Chain A
Amino acid sequence: MNAAIVGVGATDFSKNSGRSELQLAAEAVRAALADAGLEPSDVDGLVSFTMDTNAEIAVARELGIPELTFFSRVHYGGGAACATVQQAAMAVETGAAKVVVCYRAFNERSGHRFGQVQTAAAVNIDNSWSYPMGLGTPAAMVAMFARRYMHEYGATSEDFGRIAVIDRKHAATNPHAWFHNRPITLDDHQASRWIAEPLRLLDCCQETDGGVALVVTSAERARELPQKPAHINAATQGSGVDQFTMTSYYRDDLTRLPEMGVVARGLWEKSGIGPSDVDVAVLYDHFTPFVLVQLEELGFCGRGEAKDFVASGALELDGDLPLNPHGGQLGEAYLHGMNGIAEAVRQVRGTAVNQIADVEHVLVTAGTGVPTSGLVLGAS
């Protein structure tokens, strides 16, 4: 695509921001524009998640963005993350807008917590086949997949735990991470309490107050701006056969994420690269089991082999496929995947705290278990 991410911005990541979600959004957007060397008056497009409480017009008012020619929202929770960038890139390519800012901001810990039972969500007809039966939290919904995955491939709770250990190890050296200086061991993981068997507390990402914003413009415009651009080599969305939100339990195979398979095919086709060309993987990690399934869907290893791939050390900073060098959502912050995109941009720029050498391509994925999206960001 002929577009690039030229600015990233974020608020602090906390458990109690002490300010409104709109203020968090406005602060993140302002920071991203400053990073990009642009003014609010340069912005003519805004994109967010349908779950975000901050209307595009409200953000525009706070920033003093005078006019918008493009505004859009993407559905399906964290599955929207990379798709906001896709929306922005498409708007830039088609001329619908020149500078588009993608944002996500919430008080997800001190305000509305997604990990609690979403009684209000039960009004959705699809959810009436799960919520009234007692399956009402994201952790429990993922646990249903995880149990079947363990059964079919012999994966264990420890195999899931290794993802948490890696994320927390990387977060430990990231001063922006909530879990800075707080690594965990596999024993810590195994000692953590059950949330929804087979998921333990440390299989579940944290909850965060904060905001992240990303500035997208054309590759031509990007050349005139101060930051090294992170080129959008590919951006895709994916929904699979018989798709539900978090509860696609009626497909033949419960050990896969077909929607991520759709994303993977699109990313490799559009970017012209394959799994072996990926220098850094920022994989959505709200719950550890789906990181294993993603590795398989994206083609980094065969079906059922992710546990061995993870145990081999491939995901370490010096491994073949460094995973979430910022610490992911288990370690840095849960910003619905948007902080992972910001990390991918830093890795391309060469300015990350846990910088991988000579980064050409970074893969980023969005929420799993839901219709999702992905990005390949490149140095060129």
Chain B
Amino acid sequence: MIDIEKEAARVAEQGESAPRLARDPVNLPMINNWLEAIGDQHPGYTEVAPPAMVQVWTMGGLHGQRALDDPLGAMMKILDEAGFTSVVATNSDQTYHRYLKIGEHVSVTSTLEDVTGPKKTALGEGWFVTTRSTWYVGDEAVAEMRFRVLKFRPAEKQEPKPEPRQAQAIRPSINRDTEYFWEGCRNQELRIQRCGGCGLLRHPPGPMCPECGATKPKYLVSDGRGVVYSYVVHHHPQVPGKQTPFVIALVELDEGVRMLGELDGEPSIGLPVEVVFTKVDDELTMPSWRPRADR
């Protein structure tokens, strides 16, 4: 076992790291690039650099390596070895003592200020590491920064990521026999097929009445009220256009036929529900259920 607090104390005792000189002096081309990248259109940065650029001057570049006495690097290594292998920056506070002028050459030093932990976080157990950096021109301190990272052990089993919701819900096929139903939904009407011959109510519908053989289906407009006859709470797998878990209820309408639809509410068999219409687009409106307020 690595004693992290003891190791941290050892690193902190080393105090301020040796000054590390910036690769280039403060210069106009870098200032212009930075302004462009940030989207800062202030016209005043022709003689001095934006203060928030201070960290830029001493960045290591693409192939930079931390100095051996850099306390943050040392602390990262210790925590890596202790199994806290992941890192996320949490906050950074900067203080600017004055503007940096073009041509000035800054250097930076770092101190380990604080290591606290272990803390349980949403990401996993980890240690907060705080360093203080100071930028100098010569012996003059021009800016300071307190920088904090969380160095953590990734949770053994990450919470399952919510599966991406597919935008496109499954659409019904609609033909000559079923068009009346979907047309009804577009008009906020829940229609039930009624035989033009014998009056039999039927859902799902069909072109020929199984009772009397008539092929003149008509419909009535349901009150859209009924009770839950059975239901499913769907968890897996993902269903296009739906956010799991969700409820699908088989509702027995007051008129006597059963119909499926999503139920927005706590399900139970016998629950009184009523129809709700949700417009998907100009062609499609979907019926679904919600618990009745008067139940």
Contact = CB atoms under 8 A, between A and B. Distances in A.
A128 B239 contact: no
Contacts, number: 108
B233 A196 contact: yes
A119 B170 contact: yes
B273 interface: no
A197 B247 CA distance: 9
B189 interface: no
Contacts of B174: 128
A205 to B, nearest CB: 15
B143 to A, nearest CB: 53
A129 B260 contact: yes
Q: How large is the interface on B (under 10, 10 to 19, 20 to 34, 35 or more residues)?
A: 35 or more
A350 interface: no
Contacts of A122: 170-173
Interface string B255-295: 00111111000000100000000000000001010000000
A197 B170 contact: no
Nearest to B280: A132
Nearest to A204: B236
A182 interface: no
A113 to B, nearest CB: 9
Contacts of A123: 173
A132 B239 CA distance: 10
Interface in A115-138: 115-117, 119, 122-137
Nearest to A200: B235
Given A132-B169, A250-B204, A117 B235 contact: no
Nearest to A137: B237
Interface stretch (A145-153, A215-223, A327-335): A145-153
Interface residues of A, number: 36
B242 interface: yes
Contact of B248 (A116, A117, A124, A135): A135
Contacts of B170: 117, 119, 122, 131-132, 136
Contacts of B147: none
A147 B240 contact: no
Interface of B is mostly: loop
A117 B240 contact: yes
B128 interface: no
A249 B235 contact: no
B215 to A, nearest CB: 17
A143 interface: yes
B232 interface: yes
A134 B147 CA distance: 49
Contacts of A127: 173
A140 B232 contact: yes
B257 A196 contact: no
B234 interface: yes
B262 A254 contact: no
Given A119-B170, A140-B248, A193-B235, A145 B230 contact: yes
Contacts of B261: 133
Contacts of A143: 232
Given A122-B170, A122-B173, A148 B229 contact: yes
B158 interface: no
Interface string B112-139: 0000000000000000000000000000
Contact of B239 (A136, A147, A193, A197): A136
Contacts of B231: 144, 147
Contacts of B237: 115-117, 137
B178 A134 contact: no
Contacts of A136: 170, 239-240
B146 to A, nearest CB: 45
A128 B178 contact: yes
B60 to A, nearest CB: 46
Nearest to A142: B232
B29 to A, nearest CB: 54
A39 to B, nearest CB: 44
A135 B232 CA distance: 9
A130 B240 CA distance: 13
A306 B230 CA distance: 20
Contact of B178 (A125, A133, A194, A195): A125
Contacts of B230: 144-145, 147-148, 151, 249, 254
B246 interface: yes
Contacts of A133: 248, 260-262, 286, 288
Contacts of B81: none
A151 B234 contact: no
17 contacts: A119-B240, A126-B204, A128-B172, A128-B174, A128-B178, A129-B260, A131-B172, A133-B262, A133-B286, A134-B246, A135-B232, A148-B230, A194-B245, A195-B235, A197-B233, A249-B260, A254-B230
Interface of A: 115-117, 119, 122-137, 140, 143-145, 147-148, 151, 193-197, 247, 249-250, 254
Question: 10 smallest A-B Cβ distances: which pairs?
Answer: A128-B172, A197-B233, A148-B230, A143-B232, A194-B235, A132-B172, A129-B204, A133-B260, A122-B170, A147-B230
